[in-house]
Amino acid sequence: MKKLVLPFLLVISIFTLAGCGQLTPKDLFDKVNNAHKDIESVEIKFTESSKTEDEDEKSTGIQKMDFKKDVSYIKFNEDDMILYKDKKETLLFYDGFELGLEEDEKKEYKNYLKYNKDRQKNQLAFLQQFDDKLFEKFELKEEKDTYILTYKGSKEDKKKLLEAMSSEYYKELSKKTKHEIVDVEVFDLTFKINKKTYLIEQYQYDQKFTEKLDGEESKYDRSTTYHYSKYNKVKDIKKPKETSADSGDDEKLTLSKEEQETYEKEAANYVSALIQATVYQNVDGYVENAPDTESQEEKVKSAEHQKSAFRSIYIENGKNTMQSVGAEVSDSQFETLADGFLNALSKTKYEIVGAKAEGNDSFVVTLKIEGFNDGKLISETQAPIQEQFQQGNLTEQEFVDKIMESLAQAYNGEITLEAPVEMDVNVIRNNDGTYIVALQDQYLGGFVQY
């Protein structure tokens, strides 16, 4: 169940000065803050690289911010992905298609865009709220037209700053999210400030750290460069428009007949492979169905990742739901529930109806799915337990424990399948010939109905 990895989480952009002629660090901070006070819009070009144990990713793009109208626009070039937010709505586009967002996804993207906007107007002021002595931790060098600022804080300074940034981000998502910065290996920040205007022209950061989120550790290794321009010259940021078969702006299909047939088949096979790995937890099924644009080793690695991620996200969502109502549920209870849920999913059925090219690298795969009604199953399981609780026969903890136990049993029992429904899934073909489904909910909604 793929979720966008927020690419600027914990991106830190701050600066101070350490001795430059008569200009003190505090003087420069004041000048920069004063210069950014009247900024109403800006354009930002970025280059980013991110390394994990499994892969290295690089991306480029552009951000447009209208602070006065509260409009944000971010385009990621390689993924052909656009995030947009104004006062009324938050939108996500992939390859020209608007993707529907669930409420929790919309909340996450909205929070990320707000967090990003708050930083980008004035990175200095944003960070000073966490450390009013920030200017003491930078070294200043001077070039012809710019001031060069390099962060020289101690390891403890770096950890505290990352911790503060993390807290600022997560507080809007969940009051119960527990996080900490476990270790900081690299934390290098370099800023270029225009001498005449005192506006930020560029910043580059390199960060390598370990964060613990709700008990689970993740390692981050990121490098990003931002170039700021067009201060107060960005006007009328337009909301993206979805392309369609009837749109004159739609991409022309220039594939040969053979290419179109091949790519449509590969897109359909990829969706089938993804379903095997996620819904049916079947690594061999993924390997058997996935297009040969991946090597055998890559197929196995992708399958295992999709399989484990699907289960992990189900458990994590369950934990968040229980935490939101203050219920105490053990890890073993969630594991048992996940086993049952996956067993129920294993009883479902699907078939590929067809695939159609919408553009040279965008396809729609149609599925026919016989899923089960999870909402009905939960309601029927919970009703008698709820009655016992209301009669005073169960404590709150006994009620929760009974619900978890009974749901797991129901999932492992007889599963009634619903009438077949057709679902369309948007698939994107990358430049390297691999495929991606941006929103797995487009097919999951057929397998798990409410």
Write the pLDDT tens digit of every residue in 148-185.
888 888 888 888 888 887 778 777 665 555 667 778 88
Domain boundary residue, one of 229, 245, 278: 229
pLDDT of residue 173: 61
Task: Encode pLDDT of 300-341 as tens digits.
Answer: 999 999 999 899 989 988 887 777 667 889 999 999 999 999
pLDDT band at 9 (very low <50, low <70, confident <90, very high): very low
pLDDT of residue 248: 40
Residues 306, 214 share a domain: no
Residues 290, 179 share a domain: no
Q: Among 7-16, 123-132, 316-325, which stretch is predicted with the lowest mean pLDDT? A: 7-16
Find the helix or strand (DSSP H, E) in which 188 lies. strand 179-194
How many domains, the chain? 2
In a domain, 249, yes or no: no
* Strands laid side by side in the 421-429 sheet: 349-359, 362-370, 421-429, 435-436
In a domain, 191, yes or no: yes
Domain boundary residue, one of 177, 211, 229: 229
In a domain, 39, yes or no: yes
Residues 315, 270 share a domain: yes
Range of the domain at 406: 258-447
Residues 35, 154 share a domain: yes
Which tops the pLDDT comparison, 243 or 132?
Answer: 132
- The verdict on pTM exceeding 0.85 is no
pLDDT band at 377 (very low <50, low <70, confident <90, very high): very high
In a domain, 408, yes or no: yes
Residues 219, 74 share a domain: yes
Helix ranges restricted to H, 222-295: 257-278, 283-289
What DSSP line would sit under 16-68, residue for residue?
----BTTB-HHHHHHHHHHHHTT--EEEEEEEEEEE-SS-EEEEEEEEEEETT
- The answer to whether residues 198 and 140 touch, using CB atoms and an 8 Å cutoff, is no
In a domain, 4, yes or no: no
What are the CA-CA distances from residue 381 to residues 324, 406, 413 (Å)? 21, 7, 12
CATH (domain of 210):
2.50.20
pLDDT band at 17 (very low <50, low <70, confident <90, very high): very low
In a domain, 32, yes or no: yes
The pLDDT > 70 percentage for the chain reads 89
In a domain, 17, yes or no: no
pLDDT of residue 197: 94
Helix ranges restricted to H, 281-330: 283-289, 296-324
